[in-house]
Each structure stands twice: as C-alpha cells, then as structure tokens.
Amino acid sequence: MFFLLLVLPGLVYGRADFYRVSWRDDPATAAVICWNQVSGEEPEVCYGTVDHGMKAIAYENRARPTRTLEYRGMNNHFVRLENLQPDTAYYFVVCDSEGVGRRLWFKTAPDKPQPFTFISGGDSRTNPQPRREGNKLVAKLRPLFVLFGGDYSGSGTAEQWREWFADWQLTISEDGRIYPIIATHGNHENADLLMMEHLFDTPHPDQYYSLGIGGDMMRIWVLNSELEYKAPTKVPLQNEWIHADLPKYPAVNWKLVAYHRPMRAHTAHKAEGLNRIKWWAQLFYDQGVDAVIESDTHMVKQSYPVRPSEGEGSYESFIRDDEKGFMFIGEGSWGAPARPANDDKPWTMASDSFHQFKWIQVYPDEMLVRTVKFDHIDSVEPLTEANLFDEPKGMVFWEPESGQVLRLPFDKNHPSYTKPPEPRMVVAHGSEWEWSLDGTNWAKGIAPLGYGDKKVNPVALPDGVKPPWIAFRKEVEVGDAGAVTRLFFDLKVDDGGVVNLNGHEVVRHNLPDGELKPETLALKKMVGWRLKRGIPFPVDPKFLKSGTNLVEVRVYQQSPKSSDLMFDMAVRVKE
Ligand SMILES: [Fe+2]
C-alpha cells in the first residue's frame, strides 16, 4: 500500500504541514527540513538535486527524522540534511504512510564569494495582516535566506505558533521555493529559552551562534539579548563566546551581528541597552563589524557608522566614525504595533515608523540595503530565478533623506548617497523665553533659566520659595510650515519637562503618564552629561503653523527637596 502511494503521486497527500527550513550548520552543505506531522506513520524526506515533483520514489536520497518533538501543540519533525552541494537547488517531499506532501525546494548557500540577497526583519507579533503581507513579499523577492530578529508572536503559545507557521507558508513562492530562516530569540519568546531550538532546531540551546555564507564573504553572529533578563548566569558564557568567536574570522568581508533588543532604541520610552553597549560595542568596533541588526522597537532606523565613545561630541555612548564604524539597522516591524520614531541621535541617519523589512543585496565589494514597505503588495511583480537582483516592479521602498539605498561601506561622497539636509536653527539655546510661576503672570529672561545652579539665569522667587514647577513659553516664527519635513526640540531640562506646540503635547520627558498636576514629580534625577547638548526630540511637524507658533514648556522637579531646576531649549527644522 505504501509503495502504491509513492508511485501514484497526487492521489493522496501526506499529512505534513507548517514547513520551514532552517540553518544550524554550514549553510553551503547542510540544512534542516522542519514540519508538523499531523498523522500518518514513518515520515521521511525524499530529496535530491533533480526535481521529480511529487513522485517520491524517484528522488535520489531519503532521510528519516533526526529528531521529533511534541511542542507547542505540534508534532515537530526535523531532518538534518548534510553533505549537500553548495549553491545548489534541492527538491524535496515529505512522504509518510498516508501519502506524499507538497513538493518544495530550497537553495544551499554558495561556499565562495558570489552575490546573493537576503531579508532581515523581526517583530511579526500581534497583527496578522501586515505579517502576512511581509510574508507574501518574501515569496516575491526570493532571497537566499531570512534573518529573523525575534518576537514572532504575542507570547509563543501553541495557538499563536500554529497561526505563525500557517502564515509562514505564505513565504513559499508559487514554484515551491522555501527560504531558510536564521532564527533569533526575542523577549516575546521568553516563556521558554529553548523555544527557537524546539521549533527551528537552532544549534545552541541558549540561542547564540554564527554562520558563514559564501566562504569568507559574509558571517552572521546571532546573539541572545534575553539571557540578561531571563538567565543572567549564562551571560558570561555568551560574552566569552562572542569575544572568542568574532576574532576567529579576520578574513570575512561582511561581518553582521543580530540580536533582538537594541543598544539605543529609537523610540523614547524604550529602555537603553547599557549592558549590551558595555559588553559588545567595543568588540564589534575592534573586530570590524559592518552592521548591527536590532529589532524590538517596531520602527525604522539606520545610523551613520559609529564607534563607542563617551568623549566630546559623543551622544548616548556613540560617536559618528565614517571610516571604521559599524552601522545600526533596525528596529523590527514585521507586523507588531508601530511605535513612533521619536528618539533620534545625532548619529542617526534616518528614522521613521511603518511596517517593513530590509531587502539586502550582497556583493563582494558592497552591500545595498533597501527598506521594503508593506504597501500595495498585491501589485508587486514577483522576481524570477533569472532576475533576483532587480528591483521588483511595484515594490514600495522607503526613501529617506539619505536616499533609497543604504550602501556599505559607507561613503558620503558616493553619488547614490544624498546628504541629508542639516537642520536649520529656528531657536538657539540661550534665547529669550517668558517664564511664570503660576501660568498667569509672565516675565522675561535669557535661558538657561531656573534656580539653584550657578550656570542658570535665576528666576525671581518670592520669599526664596522654590516652586516644584515653572512654566516657560515662546512664540516661534516659522515661514512656510508646509515645507518643514522634520522638527526637533533639543530639550535641556532638570528634571522633567512637557512641551506643547500650539496646544498639542508633543514631548513628555522624564514625567509620568496621565494628567500632570502641580504636585507631579519627575521620574528620575537628571544626569549632568545629558544636559550639555540637550536631548534632540524629533516632533511631528503636523502641529506647526506658518507664521507664529506658541511653544509652551512646563518643567518639574524630581523631588520637593531638590535644590535646583533648569530649562533651555533649541528648535531646529529640516525643510
Ligand atoms: Fe521585543
């Protein structure tokens, strides 16, 4: 009976579903075929370099599962294929006692330098629609592989994973090509640190590993940002490993590191990754890492090349270094709720907020990064095996001020790079502001204004009483508001501040959520160094008016006992 089923393809389908291919060993010679076995006995993978469609018996090779695992409501099966030929199409079917599954195929990586493309993205949780749109775009782009940055689903339950894998089938192209995934662990997988290993057969139980693609052309180091939070005793081992493994590959041309939570998130309320900076940033720089791919924040960013620095001109631990620095790329928005791009740094090249992933073309001497918007996906013309490096017709790319293509190595003189315009200073630090202790009676003074610090111009305090808050306001002239593409408020404040533009709250810094009352206190004491340059808050320019604009700021103390309060702010626009 079994034999009959094999020779009569198409009569009865096998009972495998939720296919995925992953990489755990040399991608030029190995791959893992993974699926969920619904029913049927004795499943095996029939595979080879010749396409026999669903005629299972005709395939050159067959392999039984290396490993099976009941996990997250699925009967996960893994076949580790080894001794494959590099840069070669492998066709396969999963067959079992009930029939033969869909014919799929994948490509092994090249073992020497030659161009390829890949997709990098993350954070597909919560919203199935954009997730599915992104998946359909994978099928149209035909990358060599997908580097996935974590936060697949809400919390990694059985139901959520079944839905995720059902959606992942949309990444399979019409001709059955399926794209290997390099899996990264995110905080929404923290219910089980083994989740990636249990679902993708990743090579290390703690989810850090490295893989080379194209010989010395590229190597990707995957780190687990969640060990810090979920298994701190394992942190030294991971750090020991990355400090030993990165220097093992001095000849690699493109060095990429990927992990979930960013060092410096580009959304304001997200926590800073101070430990990741401390553990890894200098190592990445010393070892010539080209790009650091981060997720978690659900917005879009790309940075100039940077190196770690706390010196003059640095900001939040980094300073621009066009010659030798690494670029940050991120921050994951494959379906997760979009968050605002409101925490740019001076070394941020561009930021925005929409659903997207990166489509990356890799050549021996340059790497071209495009951000793909999940817009009008049905009108995107799919690529074919003959034109894998063309821009698909109808695909919507992000066009930031620096240009559509982010080119590595970074060359600010390259004709494809558009120098983002320098913001124009509309209000400089040290300008005249009105201030008030009751919101009614106003006086004028030159910023920095406040009390209790010899660097500020003191406001007059009745009877020496130090008020818990002070209001400041200024009329700001902007010629043509419609021409303003970006607006920045560079806030220097001790301790917390809220900024209103024409009656709309646009910045809330170091203050609790909810209604602000006279007795409201700032959340944290301000640290001196952040005050030096001011914190550049990008603000949506939609609240700007042509002509006169009213900017109102209210500054709050962190504690009633605090002896000082200070305020200054610059306003810059890009047009
Ligand atoms: Fe996350």
Q: Which residues pair with 554 in a beta bridge?
A: 471, 498
Contact of 407 with 395, CB cutoff 8 Å = no
Tens of pLDDT, residue by residue over 108-119, are 999 999 999 999
Ligand 1 mean position to 122 CA, how many Å? 9
Tens of pLDDT, residue by residue over 62-99, are 999 999 999 999 999 999 999 999 999 999 999 999 99
Ligand 1 mean position to 468 CA, how many Å? 36
Residue 574: its pLDDT value, please? 86
Query: What is the dotted CATH code of the domain comprising 2-107?
Result: 2.60.40.10
**CATH 3.60.21.10 placement within the chain:** 116-408
Query: What is the dotted CATH code of the domain comprising 424-574?
Result: 2.60.120.260
Inform me whether the pLDDT recorded for 452 exceeds 80.
yes
**Which segment, 209-213, 310-314, 336-340, is predicted with the most confidence on average?**
209-213
Ligand 1 mean position to 324 CA, how many Å? 29
For residue 237, what is the enclosing H or E element? Answer: helix 235-245
Ligand 1 mean position to 444 CA, how many Å? 46
Ligand 1 mean position to 33 CA, how many Å? 27
Ligand 1 mean position to 148 CA, how many Å? 12
Residue 2: pLDDT band with limits 50, 70, 90: very low
**CATH 2.60.120.260 placement within the chain:** 424-574
Ligand 1 mean position to 517 CA, how many Å? 32
How many CB atoms within 10 Å of residue 412? 10
Ligand 1 mean position to 261 CA, how many Å? 6
Inform me whether the pLDDT recorded for 10 exceeds 70.
no
Residue 123's contacts (CB-CB under 8 Å, 6 or more residues apart) are 149, 150, 151, 186, 295, 296, 298, 332, 333, 334, 335, 336
Ligand 1 mean position to 182 CA, how many Å? 17
Inform me whether the pLDDT recorded for 510 exceeds 50.
yes
Tens of pLDDT, residue by residue over 277-311, are 999 999 999 999 999 999 999 999 999 999 999 99
Give the pTM.
0.86
Query: What is the dotted CATH code of the domain comprising 116-408?
Result: 3.60.21.10
Label residue 357 exposed, middle or buried (CB < 10 Å: 0-12, 13-18, 19+): buried
Ligand 1 mean position to 566 CA, how many Å? 35
Residue 7: its pLDDT value, please? 47
Ligand 1 mean position to 187 CA, how many Å? 5
Ligand 1 mean position to 350 CA, how many Å? 21
Tens of pLDDT, residue by residue over 354-367, are 999 999 999 999 99
Please compute the mean of the pLDDT values over residues 343-372 and round it to a whole number. Answer: 95
Ion ligand 1 residue ranges (Cβ < 5 Å): 151, 186-187, 296
Ligand 1 mean position to 344 CA, how many Å? 19
Q: Which residues pair with 121 in a beta bridge?
A: 148
Mean pLDDT of the chain: 93
